[in-house]
Amino acid sequence: MSDIVANTIGECWLKSISEVMRNGKQHFDEDVEIMEVLGLSIKILSPKLQDEIVDKFGDKNIVSHTLDKFKKGIIMPNRPFTYADQIYNKNGIDQFEYLVGRLKKKKESKSATISLLSEGITDANLPCLNIIDIKIRNEKLNLQFFFRSQNILGRQYANLLAIAKLQADLATRLCTKVGFIAGYVASAHIYEYDYKYANSICANEDVTIKDRFYINGPRSIRENLQFQEKNNVYKK
């Protein structure tokens, strides 16, 4: 179990990378080595949609792609699902509006919670983000989450930006201020092919990461035809 408290999304990302590289244990995701921490708790006190650290080190294509996965009405044919599907149209239910309605009815509610998993699903690739919970306290909207798994170097920063956008949208609809983001990652990991990037970022070297998950990730990802189009994009 590891605990991280940070002021910004970028600071949280850097601390998470350092934590996994320093205290993670070697494991494997199919045929690819990973460094893994089981049980990473994070809290971001002042999440912002613009972040200097993410701008410096992050892959802009991944940020754009991840924001699209959370955006209502976006169709991504090379994806088995999008988070927007699960948030805005899960089994015909708009869960965003469910959260808004529940909190408008009872602002202090302890039960404004949604699941992004469908029971009994047998797909090889399941949503990494499973639970989103909203609490309004002291006139601020706080968002908490559960990730079953998170690629810390390659995806965490973009995931958190998309979650911060969702939080901001909810706060706007509910006429309240943005509070903190906090959550739990069951498997916080970094892939072996990203160790060099991770060490460079921890050393504050001048490096901008380029995502290689679809090219160098686990066999089931590399060989999945649904990801072929995305794979070709990252080979360019």
The reply to whether 102 falls in a domain is: yes
Q: Work out how many domains the chain is built from and give that number.
A: 1
Beta-bridged to residue 132, according to DSSP, are 114, 145
Q: Which structural domain range is residue 85 located in?
A: 2-210
Report if residue 57 sits inside a domain: yes
pLDDT in tens, the chain (236 residues): 789 999 999 999 999 999 999 999 999 999 999 999 999 999 999 999 999 999 999 999 999 999 999 999 888 877 778 999 999 999 999 999 999 999 999 999 999 999 999 887 777 778 999 999 999 999 999 999 999 999 999 999 999 999 999 999 999 999 999 999 999 999 999 999 999 999 999 999 999 899 999 899 999 888 875 655 554 544 43
Is 226 part of a structural domain of the chain?
no
The answer to whether residue 143 sits within a structural domain is yes
Is residue 235 situated within a structural domain? no
Show the DSSP H helices in 32-90 as ranges.
52-57, 60-69, 83-88
Nearest of 171, 127, 167 to residue 144 by alpha carbon: 167
Please list the helix, strand and coil fractions of the chain in percent, rounded to the nearest 5, in that order: 40, 25, 30
- State if pTM tops 0.85: yes
* 222 assigned to some structural domain: no
User: 174 in a domain, yes or no?
Assistant: yes
In three-state secondary structure terms, 17 is helix
Query: How many CA atoms, within 13 angstroms, populate the side-chain half-sphere of residue 221?
Result: 16
Q: For residue 24, what is the domain's CATH number? A: 3.30.572.10
The runs of H, that is alpha helices, within 127-207 are 157-173, 195-202
- Asked if the structure places residue 41 within a domain, the reply is yes
